[in-house]
Amino acid sequence: MKHIITALVENKPGVLARIVGLVSGRGYNIETLNVGPTQDPDTSKMTLVVPGDEQVLEQVLHQVSKLVDVIEVVDVTRRRHLNRELILVEVATTRHSRAQVLELATLFKARVAAVGEKSITLEMVGDRSSVEDFLRLLKPYEITDISRSGLIAVARGETA
């Protein structure tokens, strides 16, 4: 199972490195990691996606919450939450395939970010399953480049 963990941390040098080092040092993988400022310039919010069972989750939550610069750690996986990911994907196109790729983009509410003679670059924001579905349907076309932001998440209707 993939666990979505958010951490409110002090906005100081080295905090990210300590958290990543702690998690990877225990032999756990971080599938995606996203960090950004909050409404308070002294804090940042991290979103980590960590694959593993309940034991892995408990260890990551416990170890990360013990760090001095960590204010709060929350597993939002089973809570009501919103999650989004941004992708930029360049697809090689021909005269014939361009219309099909644009039709897929329209279905997934992706927008055209750039157009070249032999390719089109699309930008899409969606939840993890929508992003995966979009990429799966683009597979028959030649994806020449892709960049993904990693997941961000926020709890809904409750204080995290």
Residue ranges per domain, the chain?
2-75, 82-154
Q: What is the pLDDT of residue 159?
A: 54
Both tokens of residue 77? 């996986």
pLDDT tens-digit readout, 27-59: 999 999 999 999 999 999 999 999 999 999 999
Looking at domain 82-154, what is its CATH homologous superfamily?
ACT-like. Chain A, domain 2 (3.30.70.1150)
Residue 148 confidence class, pLDDT cut points 50, 70, 90 = very high
Residue 156 confidence class, pLDDT cut points 50, 70, 90 = confident
Q: What is the pLDDT of residue 157?
A: 77
Tell me whether the CATH fold assigned to 2-75 matches the one assigned to 82-154.
Answer: yes
CATH of domain 2-75: 3.30.70.260
